Amino acid sequence: MSVSINLSCPVCGNKDLKTRTSQKVGLLAAQTVAYCPSCFSIMNITGAIEKTKTAVWTERPEIHRINKPLKQVDPNQLDFISELEEPPQN
Ligand SMILES: [Zn+2]
């Protein structure tokens, strides 16, 4: 199976390069030999992970108090809803 690579062929400009072989050269890097199915050129490509970010997940209990998708609610309106539901302070 050959996988498409989102790079253009430097010889003919074909936008559908294919992977011929791919191997790991370290924890964060890989070397690939790719070919162009249009002009049959062969290219060596090196790829490395340069920057990684992880997601931060936030609990959103307010989705139970609104009747439309969260992204469609005005953020100022959400503050108003949570103020109404806070327990009274003594
Ligand atoms: Zn080509």
Instruction: List, as one string, the DSSP characters of 7-56.
Output: ---TTT--S-EEEEEEEEEETTEEEEEEE-TTT--EEEEEEE--------
Report residue 32 as tokens. Answer: 């690939």
Distance 50 CA to ligand 1 centre (A): 28
For residue 76, give the H/E element and its range.
helix 75-85
Distance 84 CA to ligand 1 centre (A): 64
Confidence of residue 5 (pLDDT cuts 50, 70, 90): confident
Confidence of residue 36 (pLDDT cuts 50, 70, 90): very high
Q: Report, as an integer, the average pLDDT of 40-50.
A: 96
Report residue 10 as tokens. Answer: 């430097």
Q: Is the pLDDT of residue 16 over 60?
A: yes
pTM tops 0.75: no
Q: Cα separation of 21 and 19, whole Å?
A: 6
Distance 82 CA to ligand 1 centre (A): 59
Distance 30 CA to ligand 1 centre (A): 22
